[in-house]
Amino acid sequence: MVHLGTSVVGIVAALLLLEVGIRIGSPQDLGYWDSSSFRRNLRTLPHFVENIPYGTARFVGVPVTINSDGLRGEEISTPKPPHTTRLVAVGDSITFGYGIPVEDTYAKVLEKRLNANASALMRYEVLNGGTLGGSLGDYLHFLNQKAERLQPDVVLIGVSLNDILVYSAEGGVSEADAQWQGEHLPLARRLSHFLLRHSQLYMLSYSRLKSFLYDFGALDINKVQGSNFVALSPASAYQTQAWTSSLEMLSRIAALCRERGYRLIVVVFPMQMQMSAADLRFYREKYHLKLSDQTLSGDPQRRLKEFAKATGVTLVDLLPVYRAYDSKDLYLRNKLIPFDPSHPSVKGNKIAAEEIFGVLKHPDSRARLTNP
Domains of the chain and any CATH numbers: 31-185+225-361 (3.40.50.1110)
| Segment 246-255, tens digit of pLDDT | 999 999 999 9
pTM of the model: 0.88
Regarding predicted confidence, which is higher, 9 or 216? 9
Q: What is the mean pLDDT of residues 275-293?
A: 94
pLDDT-based confidence at 372, cuts 50/70/90? very low
Query: Does the pLDDT value for residue 18 go beyond 80?
Result: no
| Segment 193-220, tens digit of pLDDT | 777 777 777 777 776 666 655 555 545 5
Q: What is the mean pLDDT of residues 69-93?
A: 97
Look at residue 274 in the predicted model and tell me its pLDDT. 98
Look at residue 184 in the predicted model and tell me its pLDDT. 47
Query: Does the pLDDT value for residue 3 go beyond 70?
Result: no
pLDDT-based confidence at 23, cuts 50/70/90? confident
Regarding predicted confidence, which is higher, 125 or 171? 125
Look at residue 266 in the predicted model and tell me its pLDDT. 98
Q: Are 102 and 72 in contact (CB under 8 A)?
A: yes
Query: Does the pLDDT value for residue 340 go beyond 80?
Result: yes
pLDDT-based confidence at 22, cuts 50/70/90? confident
Q: What is the mean pLDDT of residues 235-252?
A: 96
Query: Does the pLDDT value for residue 308 go beyond 80?
Result: yes
Query: Does the pLDDT value for residue 186 go beyond 70?
Result: no
Query: Does the pLDDT value for residue 355 go beyond 90?
Result: yes
Regarding predicted confidence, which is higher, 30 or 64? 64
pLDDT-based confidence at 369, cuts 50/70/90? low
